[in-house]
Structure 1
């Protein structure tokens, strides 16, 4: 009976998806920064072949730009989390009838 109720009355589905995307982006940025500080290698891997040209790990990484991207992603994530929390709070209040 309540299946899909939250999706129709709030933007919870979109906000949850935005949180998932934000988490993935944060992991990618952190991975690029970590590999840049380890000279484009994996900290736990044995030394192997260098990155191929055109691959995501190839070329220099601008750590400052990556940190700006990380800060931007953190702000977006926190905003989405607050909006989702407020949406659930409104839903709780409407169910309680206050």
Structure 2
């Protein structure tokens, strides 16, 4: 077995790392949106007493975050399709081109 063959002849490693970065960005967006829906920013540290919520120092614009999430989903989908085509072309080359 030739180790590193896919790395040398395709762009699969770069595409896979792009998918990983996209997942991390999506998690970050989801975290910011979930914290924006709670007044104090953390679901596990709710206030013990009733009162006015603490204002956030860095307010999150949920609409902007949702636009960023939609953009990230499109990037993820496009990258995953490119990776799928990369593997399909490699599979075709291994099989001999016509099969």
Determine helix, strand or coil for the equivalent of 2:25. helix
Name the residue aligned to 1:83: 82
1:2 and 1:39 map into 2 onto residues whose CA distance is 55
Residue ranges of structure 2 left out of the alignment (5+ in a row): 48-53
Whether 1:74 and 2:73 are equivalent positions in the alignment is: yes
* Structure 1 counterpart of 2:63: 64
Deviation at 1:29, TM superposition (A): 0.1
Match of 2:36 in 1: 36
Give 3-state SS (helix, strand or coil) of 2:42's partner: coil
Unmatched 5+ stretches in structure 1: 52-56
CA distance in 1 between counterparts of 2:95 and 2:34 reads 47
Q: TM-score, normalised by structure 1?
A: 0.84
Cα gap change, 1:40/1:47 in structure 2, threshold over 3 Å: closer, same or farther? closer
Match of residue 93 from structure 1: 92
